[in-house]
Amino acid sequence: MADTAQSIQDERLKKEGLGPRLMKRPELGAIAGVILVTAFFLVTADSTMFTLSGIMNFMTPAAQLGILAIGAAMLMIGGEFDLSIGSMVAFAGLIFGACVVTLGLPLILAIPLTLAVAAGLGALNGMIVLKTGLPSFIVTLAFLFVLRGASLVGLKLASGGSTQLRGVRDAVEGDWLAPMFSGDAFGPIFAWLAQIGLIDTFKSGAPKVPGIPVEILWFIGLALVATYVLLRTPQGNWIFASGGDRNAASNSGVPVRKVKISLFMVTALCGALVAIITVMDAGSTDARRGFMKEFEAIIAAVIGGCLLTGGYGSAIGAFFGAIIFGMVTIGLTYTNFDQDWFQIFLGAMLLIAVLFNNYIRKRVTGER
């Protein structure tokens, strides 16, 4: 098969160089961004930023955002938005907190229950969008407020008047599932590395970095799974197709409705996962959890190459988009700059990313 393909090269086609081919990858912008930001902080920031503990420092918030961003990216490729993921983090946090603290359930019940509630709400979002044909922007904007309000009301009910529910840490202490969702992984390996002097230690001999925070592992794992699904499975093809052109996809036999509802559920599940991890980490849940995260997740997805119109993007791009976020938020504390530059950076980065993506789309589709 390969030799027939070669013998029929069209003489009018110039061989495409590596550069133009790379240009067509959606995640290129985000990778370039990571390189740029790294270079910036290598010059301006204190050198401790790029030690092992410094890296863990900025990777942890990057991972928490990134889990949301990967969900948001897949949904955007499928042609929809979810503005309620930030509120979903707060609401799922409430459900989870109420399960373990108020009801005293073990994690093996509390976690599936939280995930099921989130998935149900995601499916509800999706069904309303598909049934009514309204833009998902407006439907999920409604849910942004509904879920945030429900979190406040629910927290007051569960905690007897306060907007914070404490005592999660005591409740999950000793639960065999807890290490999956909180703390650091690979502790013994890091201890051993410290022992043989490969990583920095405190004076006591304990390693400065006790392990890899679990959310980073979830983040990496999720990015790999999402990329595999998008690029190598029929479902991935259906996601691109549903976002690219709904009618064309359904005329070709793609189950567009199922695909979109599943994507809303996946996004909500990502929100719930972040809720479980951060609530267990903090030991309490409050109504402000996940505030504004919906926008940050969408921005990370856009920086990662997702088109606002759907049908194009990548999970790896969102992965790097989230890392840029983490690096800048935390990185500014290592420099002499005022931390509030962060917001300015955010807006500028978004604008540049959108312009860049637009340009790339024109290249890909050959629009002139």
- Contact pick of 17, 133, 188, 253 for another protein (by CB under 8 A): 253
Q: What are phi and psi of 50, to 5 degrees?
A: -105, 20
Binding pattern to another protein, positions 213-252, x when CB under 8 A?
A: ---------------x---xxx-xxx-xx--xx-xxx-xx
Cα separation, 278 vs 270, whole angstroms: 12
Cα separation, 363 vs 353, whole angstroms: 15
Q: Which of 180, 182, 181, 184 is nearest to 210 (CA)?
A: 184
Q: Which of 319, 260, 249 is nearest to 79 (CA)?
A: 260
Work out how close the CB of 228 gets to another protein at its nearest, in angstroms, rounded to a whole number.
Answer: 8
Nearer to another protein, 155 or 256 (CB): 256
Work out how close the CB of 112 gets to another protein at its nearest, in angstroms, rounded to a whole number.
Answer: 19
Work out how close the CB of 98 gets to another protein at its nearest, in angstroms, rounded to a whole number.
Answer: 33
Contacts of 95 (CB under 8 A, 6+ apart): 113, 114, 117, 118
Nearer to another protein, 48 or 233 (CB): 233
Residue 73 and residue 304 in contact, taking contact as beta carbons nearer than 8 Å: yes
Q: How many residues sit in the footprint of another protein (CB under 8 A)?
A: 36
Binding pattern to another protein, positions 293-312, x when CB under 8 A?
A: --------------x---xx
Work out how close the CB of 243 gets to another protein at its nearest, in angstroms, rounded to a whole number.
Answer: 9
Cα separation, 110 vs 104, whole angstroms: 9
Q: According to the binding rule CB under 8 A, does residue 10 interact with another protein?
A: yes
- Contact pick of 5, 18, 196, 292 for another protein (by CB under 8 A): 5
Nearer to another protein, 183 or 244 (CB): 244
Work out how close the CB of 48 gets to another protein at its nearest, in angstroms, rounded to a whole number.
Answer: 42
Nearer to another protein, 247 or 343 (CB): 247
Work out how close the CB of 255 gets to another protein at its nearest, in angstroms, rounded to a whole number.
Answer: 9
Q: According to the binding rule CB under 8 A, does residue 75 interact with another protein?
A: no
Cα separation, 117 vs 355, whole angstroms: 38
- Contact pick of 16, 36, 48, 179 for another protein (by CB under 8 A): 16
Burial 20-37 (b: 16+ CB within 10 A, else e): eeeeebbbbbbbebbeeb
Q: Hey, what amino acid is at 219? A: F
Q: Which of residues 346-365 bind another protein (CB under 8 A)?
A: 361, 364-365
- Cα 33 to chain centroid distance, Å, stands at 17
Cα separation, 306 vs 236, whole angstroms: 15
Residue 334 and residue 54 in contact, taking contact as beta carbons nearer than 8 Å: yes
Q: According to the binding rule CB under 8 A, does residue 344 interact with another protein?
A: no
Summarize as ranges the residues that interact with another protein (CB under 8 A): 1-2, 4-5, 8-10, 13, 16, 24, 228, 232-234, 236-238, 240-241, 244-245, 247-249, 251-254, 307, 311-312, 361, 364-367
